[in-house]
Amino acid sequence: MVRSVVIVGGGTAGWMSAAYLKTTFGDRVSVTVVESDRIPTIGVGEATFATIRLFFEYLGLDEPEWMPECSASYKLAIRFENWREPGHHFYHPFEWFRTANGFNLADWWLQLGDRSTGFDQNCFITTALCEHMRSPRMFDGSTSSSNRDGSPGRPTPLERPSPYYYAYHFDAARLALFLTKFATQRGVRHVVDDVLQVRQDERGWITHVTTREHGDVTGDLFIDCTGFRGMLINQTLGERFTSFEDVLPNNRAVALRVPRDMARLGIKPYTTATAMDAGWIWTIPLYGRVGTGYVYSDQFCSPEEAERTLRRFAAPDQEDLEANHIRMRVGRNERSWVNNCVAIGLSSAFVEPLESTGIFFIQHGIEQLVKNFPDADWDPRLRDNYNTRINRAIEGVKEFLVLHYRAAKRDDTAYWKEAKIRKVPPGLEERLDMAMTRLPSEENIYQHYHGFDMDSWNTMLLGLGWEPGRPKPALAHIDPMQAQAQFGRLRAEAKELVATLPSAYEYLHSIN
């Protein structure tokens, strides 16, 4: 039986894993987190993916219990700025496309749409909520628009198409502290110490880790959450790490934490990704400050130039803010589970944070670990199944991110020009080629679970400017009445929600 799990590392990956395992197994499995107080966490990773809501729900936590503790705010979408040309923007929301006569509204927009406004304004309600900085919740915490007499109204239209139509932004350090408290109160043992050595038996399986002051910590299963260093999986077990820099060349980032007067300026309920000369800048509005960072390739920009650009962009008058320079290890382990060691978080894989997938990979890794949890015989099929699922998800996200660069119209600097001729993962060229003639459906996007569906692929293609030359021919032979009614309903619902929902700042202020 596997009765004890040792997690090395206390960043977002370590504490999310500990909290999830404790919630799942209670006292039947002991969980220890060994975390160094000398080696800092990565200090970024503050925008999430919509499935994160399931994580907090699984822990039994309501938003008002944890959000104020983590300076959290809502994320309804990613706003892409300047990816097509300067001044252009579009939203990639968590909302799904509605359909009419079996075709989604993206297809119908190509046939009927008002080209004077973006497809995202016509096809999604979220666009209006973002532009008006609305909260996804009413003051009473419901996601319904209440009737005037106070009785619950109908669910917001956002809830109907997509089950998870928003995610969160949070302060990574405060989240780790919150989860530390959550997990230790439920019985997770917390050892604050440096792991000096990882010991193996003659088969190469890990038996224990040796710490500086707390002696040996033994366990049956070891989870490597040591970040980019991969102390267990790479340094000890020697698992091969494959770099993705040939297709995703951004290998550095510089980040700043910028205070913001929210009461005056409000809180934008979305992440912004602004294309720059040699990469892009993220802007993540938290409750009380903004997290921002420039992700770039050092082939095209020096760290000094990146820092100067970021400061000019995000905090021109605040020279005292400390910059966090990060070298990114972009790629994945051949296997994230080797012998009795599972790597979760940055030690397993990382693609650049353009679609906020780092924490999604962590959640996916833990969920898959529980589904494939080993028994005394360590059936290798469980491990192989785990590795297959993890690798497929990472490869899918990699392909989806490469699409962002290849499909973006922008080509005004050496960096953007190079993005157009760079190698792409197998299969993507064909998919992009097909997308020149028609928008993809579920059958012709990357075929394995990777968190993104046809709606996301269509949104990015239309937003970035990789539009099919013409609508699907069938639509010319279908009465457009239903589609026109859908566009009309969507406009009306967006207007009503903008009028009834509080602003993101007002709502968050009410729970803080």
Ligand X SMILES: Cc1cc2nc3c(=O)[nH]c(=O)nc-3n(C[C@H](O)[C@H](O)[C@H](O)COP(=O)(O)OP(=O)(O)OC[C@H]3O[C@@H](n4cnc5c(N)ncnc54)[C@H](O)[C@@H]3O)c2cc1C
Residues forming the site for ligand X (CB under 6 A): 8-14, 34-36, 39, 41-42, 44-48, 172, 194-195, 225-227, 229, 231, 253, 293, 326, 328, 345-347, 353, 356-359, 362
Least separation, in Å, of the C-beta of 53 and ligand X?
14
Is residue 294 within 8 A of residue 306, CB to CB? The reply is yes
**Catalytic entry in 22, 75, 268, 398:** 75
State the amino acid at position 339 in one-letter form: N
Residue placing its CB nearer to ligand X in the complex, 353 or 374: 353
The DSSP 8-state label assigned to residue 69 in this structure reads G
Residue placing its CB nearer to ligand X in the complex, 286 or 402: 286
Residue placing its CB nearer to ligand X in the complex, 47 or 460: 47
13 belongs to an annotated ligand binding site: yes
Least separation, in Å, of the C-beta of 326 and ligand X?
5
Sheet of 279-285, strands arranged across: 89-93, 77-81, 271-276, 279-285, 289-296, 252-259, 324-327
Q: Tally Cβ neighbours within 10 Å of residue 13.
A: 32
Least separation, in Å, of the C-beta of 119 and ligand X?
25
Residue placing its CB nearer to ligand X in the complex, 44 or 286: 44
75 belongs to an annotated ligand binding site: yes
Residue placing its CB nearer to ligand X in the complex, 92 or 98: 92
**Residue 349 neighbours by CB under 8 Å, 6+ apart:** 331, 332, 333, 336, 361, 390, 394
102 belongs to an annotated ligand binding site: no
Is residue 498 within 8 A of residue 127, CB to CB? The reply is no
State the amino acid at position 357 in one-letter form: T
Q: What is the DSSP string of 389-458?
A: HHHHHHHHHHHHHHHHHHH-----SHHHHHHHHS---TTHHHHHHHHTTS---GGGS--S-SS--HHHHH
Residue placing its CB nearer to ligand X in the complex, 233 or 461: 233
Is residue 390 within 8 A of residue 365, CB to CB? The reply is yes
Least separation, in Å, of the C-beta of 70 and ligand X?
13
43 belongs to an annotated ligand binding site: no
The closest of 72, 104, 10 to 347, measured between CA atoms, is: 10
Is residue 138 within 8 A of residue 158, CB to CB? The reply is no
181 belongs to an annotated ligand binding site: no
The closest of 28, 55, 60 to 366, measured between CA atoms, is: 55
Sheet of 241-243, strands arranged across: 241-243, 331-333, 349-350
12 belongs to an annotated ligand binding site: yes
Is residue 427 within 8 A of residue 399, CB to CB? The reply is yes
Least separation, in Å, of the C-beta of 331 and ligand X?
13
Longest dimension (CA), the chain: 75
345 belongs to an annotated ligand binding site: no
268 is catalytic: no
195 belongs to an annotated ligand binding site: yes
Residue placing its CB nearer to ligand X in the complex, 350 or 487: 350
Residue placing its CB nearer to ligand X in the complex, 32 or 127: 32
The DSSP 8-state label assigned to residue 271 in this structure reads E
Least separation, in Å, of the C-beta of 34 and ligand X?
5
Q: What is the DSSP string of 155-190?
A: BPGGGTT-S---EEE--HHHHHHHHHHHHHHTT-EE
Is residue 391 within 8 A of residue 332, CB to CB? The reply is yes
The SS3 of residue 223 is: strand
C-alpha dihedral (416, 420, 422, 425), degrees to nearest 10? 120
Least separation, in Å, of the C-beta of 387 and ligand X?
18
Burial of 58 (0-12, 13-18, 19+ CB in 10 A): middle
* 276, containing H or E segment: strand 271-276
Is residue 269 within 8 A of residue 168, CB to CB? The reply is no
Least separation, in Å, of the C-beta of 194 and ligand X?
5
Annotated binding site: 10-13, 75, 195, 346, 355, 359
Binding-site residues for FAD, in ranges, read 10-13, 195, 359
- Annotated binding-site positions for L-tryptophan: 346, 355
Residues known to be catalytic: 75
Residues tagged in the binding site annotation for 7-chloro-L-tryptophan: 75
